[in-house]
Every structure is written in structure tokens, then in C-alpha cells.
Amino acid sequence: MILVVGGAGYIGSHLVKELVETEEVVVLDNLSTGHREAVDSRAIFVKGDLGNVDDLIMVFRSYPIKAVMHFAANSLVGESVVDPLKYYNNNVASTIMLLKVMQRFKVKNFIFSSTAATYGIPNVDIIDETTPTSPINPYGRSKLMVEQILADFSKSYGLNYVVLRYFNAAGAHKSAAIGESHDPETHLIPIVLQHLLGQRDKVSVYGSDYETEDGTCIRDYIHVTDLASAHILALNTLLKGKKSEEIYNLGNGLGFSVKEVIETCEHVTGIKANVEMADRRPGDPARLVASSQKIYDELGWKAERNLEQIITDAWNWHQKQEY
């Protein structure tokens, strides 16, 4: 059985929907930002908190867990600056608790959701896993700390793990049954689509004076279903018993500016957006684009869905959004 912590959240629920096809799955989630309705009915759902040792022990006692996939975190960059202890507590301290309980129950396989925010403001155009990490906010630092803890934990106690550094997760399940539903929503694509549905009066572009071709920030958008398939490949590698302490970037390898994303949303929906130029958002690097060559070479993964597909699937979900 596979334990998915944070499996009621945006990315976790998409992984669960794929994983239940081949594995028995138990989801542990406190529903702080997740949705019970997003969890596939074939998975067992346990409402509980990662930071609560009794909840963890109950799950590990009740189910024969062979691997843990850990998506649970707080992940708002701005909030992490205002309230860093919330981030160090929920993202770092709670993960230590999880590792301790895994150690007690001799569970050795672990997949961790990390982020491009670990790189900070990189001085290269295409970021690979050798690019130095230098996070510029507590959220990014909390994820890098866990990566470092995993390396130490593995050396001393033995752990088979894969760290996946996602770039900009976006899109929705092709069935439109589940999708991205954050409150507050801070991500560009859902914000533009909510505007095009009449739920916001405009879209603000945060900064048009960056050193990029059209002056707006460039990001690498990766379909949430492509993220799910990378997790399943990584899991299968670990379950085969292959020793791993690997870190992989997950992106499309293509950068799109904020203006290009808005134009693609207009093209997909056939609706014109009301766009205003606004000040830069603090902490936004000008450009974040991944090389995912390493995971292609080692596990054979590559992104299969482009920006238009991402926005089409997100649009289908937003039009009937049920939670």
C-alpha cells in the first residue's frame, strides 16, 4: 500500500487518480488547503495531521505501507515571508516527524515534492540539477532543508528516496473531474481563467520591466498529469529496490512569459482579457526554465502536454468547477 500525504491537494489528488489504477492507496490529509471531494473514491482517506504523531502511528499500524509520497506543505511564498515559523513547522518539523515514524515502521521508500524555489534567482537560462541552490524566501528554504535532511537521514539510517523539484504546476485532469482549487488563488493560469469566467474584473501583470523579451516574467509550465506520471515512474524505480538518493527537475523545458500565457488563455477560450500592468511582485525571479534531461536519461520521463493543452484542460475544469 502507498501512503500519499497531502493527497487531497491539487497535485496530490491528480497523482492519486493515476496511482489507484495499479496500487492500493491511503491518503492522509488535514484538509487545511485540500478537498475531500478531490480524492478518488478507490483510495482510503484518513483525515489527520502530519504533525500529529498519533495520527501517523495509527496510519502506519493500520496499513502495510511500502512507500510514502509526501505532498503536504504550505506553499505560498508571500505568506512564508510574513509567517516563516508556520513554514518551518509544517514543512520541516512535520516532515521530520514523518521520517521518524517511517523509521520506526521500517518503511524505506520516500518521494518528496520540492520546488524550483530552491534555486532562488539562478544566473543561467536553463536550470539543471547542478545549478546552485540559493532560495530567497522561507518557503524555498524549508523545501531545501528537507532535501538536506533526506540526504543525512539516508546516509545514517538508510532511505531510498527521490526528490522532485516541480516548476510551475498547472492544468487539470482530462476528465475535468478534478483541477486546481486554491483559496486564496495566487497562480497565474487559474487567475486568468477565473477572470475570463467573469469571477474577477481584471488580470494584473506583476512587472513589465524585467529583462525578458516582452518585459514580463518567464516560467516553465508543467501539466499536473505529467507530474503524476513522473511520480509513478519514480515510485516504480524505488519499489524495484534500486538504491536512489536522486533529485530531478520536472518541467517542459520551455519558457512562456506572463503576456504569452494570457494570450494563450484568450486563444483557447476565445475571450478577450482585461489586462492591467502592475508593480513587480516581491521575490519573483525574471526567468525560471527547467532542464529535465536528467530524469529523461535516467527514468525515461518527459513532459507530454504543452501550454495549450494545459490551458485547455484547466479551462474545462474551471467551467464546471465543483469544489
Ligand X SMILES: NC(=O)c1ccc[n+]([C@@H]2O[C@H](COP(=O)([O-])OP(=O)(O)OC[C@H]3O[C@@H](n4cnc5c(N)ncnc54)[C@H](O)[C@@H]3O)[C@@H](O)[C@H]2O)c1
Interface with ligand GDU by CB under 6 A: which residues?
A: 75, 115-117, 168, 186-188, 191, 204-206, 217, 219, 258, 281, 284, 288
Report, in Å, the least distance between residue 39 CB and ligand GDU.
Answer: 21
Q: Looking only at residues 93 through 122 of this chain, which bind ligand X when binding is defined by CB under 6 A?
A: 94, 113, 115
Q: How many CB atoms lie within 10 A of CB 166?
A: 22
For ligand GDU, the closer of residues 48 and 207 by Cβ is: 207
Binding residues for ligand X, rule CB under 6 A, total: 27
**Site for ligand X contains 51 (CB under 6 A):** yes
Any catalytic annotation for residue 139?
yes
**Site for ligand X contains 171 (CB under 6 A):** no
What secondary structure, in 3-state letters, does the chain show? CEEEECCCCHHHHHHHHHHCCCCCEEEEECCCCCCHHHCCCCCEEEECCCCCHHHHHHHHHHCCCCEEEECCCCCCHHHHHHCHHHHHHHHHHHHHHHHHHHHHCCCCEEEEEEEHHHHCCCCCCCECCCCCCCCCCHHHHHHHHHHHHHHHHHHHHCCEEEEEEECEEECCCCCCCCCCCCCCCCCHHHHHHHHHCCCCCCEEEECCCCCCCCCCCEECEEEHHHHHHHHHHHHHHHHCCCCCEEEEEECCCCCEEHHHHHHHHHHHHCCCCCEEEECCCCCCCCEECECCHHHHHHHCCCCCCCHHHHHHHHHHHHHHCCC
CB-based contacts of 182, cutoff 8 Å, min separation 6: 10, 33, 190
**Site for ligand X contains 73 (CB under 6 A):** yes
Annotated active-site residue in 10, 119, 139, 248 = 139
- Dihedral-angle region of residue 30 (phi above 0 means left; psi in -120 to 50 means alpha; beta otherwise): alpha
For ligand X, the closer of residues 1 and 156 by Cβ is: 1
Instruction: Residue 12: name its binding partner from ligand X, ligand GDU, none (Cβ under 5 to 8 Å by kind).
Output: ligand X
Among 4, 6, 99, 118, binds ligand X (CB under 6 A): 6
Report, in Å, the least distance between residue 281 CB and ligand GDU.
Answer: 4
For ligand GDU, the closer of residues 2 and 117 by Cβ is: 117
Residue 55 near residue 48 (C-beta atoms within 8 A): yes
**Site for ligand X contains 8 (CB under 6 A):** yes
For ligand GDU, the closer of residues 113 and 160 by Cβ is: 113
Rounded distance between C-alpha atoms, residue 320 and residue 145, angstroms: 39
Report, in Å, the least distance between residue 217 CB and ligand GDU.
Answer: 3
For ligand GDU, the closer of residues 24 and 185 by Cβ is: 185
**Site for ligand X contains 166 (CB under 6 A):** yes
Report, in Å, the least distance between residue 233 CB and ligand GDU.
Answer: 21
Q: Looking only at residues 241 through 270 of this chain, which bind ligand X when binding is defined by CB under 6 A?
A: none
Instruction: Residue 219: name its binding partner from ligand X, ligand GDU, none (Cβ under 5 to 8 Å by kind).
Output: ligand GDU
Among 3, 4, 11, 217, binds ligand X (CB under 6 A): 11
Report, in Å, the least distance between residue 237 CB and ligand X.
Answer: 20
Question: Which residues are known catalytic residues?
Answer: 139
Which residues in this chain contact ligand X in the complex, by CB under 6 A?
6, 8-12, 29-34, 49-51, 71-73, 75, 90, 94, 113, 115, 166, 168-169, 182
